[in-house]
A = this chain, B = another copy of it.
Amino acid sequence: MSGNTFGTLFAVTNFGESHGPAIGCVIDGCPPGMLLSEADIQGDLDRRRPGTSRHVTQRSEPDAVEILSGVYEGKTTGTPICLLIKNTDQRSKDYGNILDTFRPGHADYTYLHKYGLRDPRGGGRSSARLTAPMVAAGAVAKKWLFEKYGTTFRGCMAQIGEAVIPFESWEHVPNNPFFAPVADVSRLENYMDALRKAGDSCGARIRVVASSVPVGLGEPLFDKLDADIAFAMMGINAVKGVEIGAGFGAVTQRGTTHGDSLSPEGFLSNHAGGVLGGISTGQDLEVSMAIKPTSSIITPRQSIDIKGQPAEVVTKGRHDPCVGIRATPIAEAMLALVVMEHALRQRAQCGDVNVSTPDIMRRRG
């Protein structure tokens, strides 16, 4: 309720600060009987962790996850799963005058005004580091959904700054530090190198897709699947926009174009992005999001201090020049958490529903 639990039936409660002793989460509601070990989770954490290329923050964190509860003899017991990640490379000394000034575009200002005090070490609670436990929780959701429904989650970088990235193939994504679906990322490397040299940061666009999603997920009027996806994505640090399917492109579409026709072989297009009326169609969930440039840059900025006096702010320390670069596994995880939640809700209310749709309709359109 104070905003640190994501989900209701598959509820993930997040805790910790960037430079505290540990971060983690508690998952409540995981179905019992699923095989689960740290190894099932560590892979996604490794995809997100810092320090893996020169294009991201140089903080060195193994982000090794420990399962503290909820698993017995290798299986989930249905009781809360506490996942703990110790912080090992905190360096709070790096933070210069951010203790008493406000970085333009940063949560410094709002945290102080909301709570009356703030933990400034590494951004405290507002740090993107707190997405790590969500990636861990998402890995649990992904595993269950895959085993139950064959659902898979994939994401990639679609744009860095002005550099639009064409989609070549999913198979390229793991082979470069940008999660870019292209074979050759030299253009992106040059772009990032120039940006870093300029002491500036840039935005990005991320795309994330879920396939083999069961039809019927989503709870209108309000807890629609797309509404919950928008909630999840906009809640990721630095996200400023979210699209489902055609997204803002739908503004200039006609109804005759946008509405995805159906045939006995399935949907013939997917402008809807896998959701109609807030409920999954069984097609791929197609989500896109805009990520703003990080506010922690070394270029001096005009600001004020906590007394309201003019101040120049320079952020030293270790920061991502484009937070979008590590956002792909985060977006996948959040999407998985949304789908998981709705899969459980669906069988709660509609567990007896059995619509004899031709199987072929379940094909991706």
Contact = CB atoms under 8 A, between A and B. Distances in A.
A123 to B, nearest CB: 9
A139 interface: no
A211 interface: no
Contacts of A205: 248, 251
Contacts of A15: 26, 68-70, 79-82
Interface string A245-258: 11111111111111
A326 B223 CA distance: 22
Given A3-B223, A107-B277, A353-B116, A255 B77 contact: no
Interface residues of A, number: 160
A7 B228 CA distance: 13
A159 interface: yes
Chain B CB within 10 A, most for which of A26, A31, A230, A309: A230
A262 interface: yes
Contact of A276 (B109, B279, B351): B109
Given A5-B28, A113-B357, A250 B293 contact: yes
Interface string A111-134: 111111111010011100010000
A294 B215 CA distance: 22
Contacts of A216: 110, 113-114
A321 to B, nearest CB: 8
Nearest to A202: B254
A102 B223 contact: no
Contacts of A346: 114
| Copies of this chain | 4
Interface string A261-297: 1111000100111011111111000000011111101
A243 interface: yes
A23 B60 CA distance: 29
A11 B1 contact: yes
Given A33-B116, A114-B353, A279-B111, A241 B250 contact: yes
Interface in A89-111: 102-107, 109-111
Nearest to A231: B231
A242 interface: yes
B220 A125 contact: yes
A229 B227 CA distance: 10
11 contacts: A5-B28, A17-B77, A29-B349, A107-B276, A110-B276, A113-B357, A114-B217, A221-B235, A222-B231, A228-B231, A255-B299
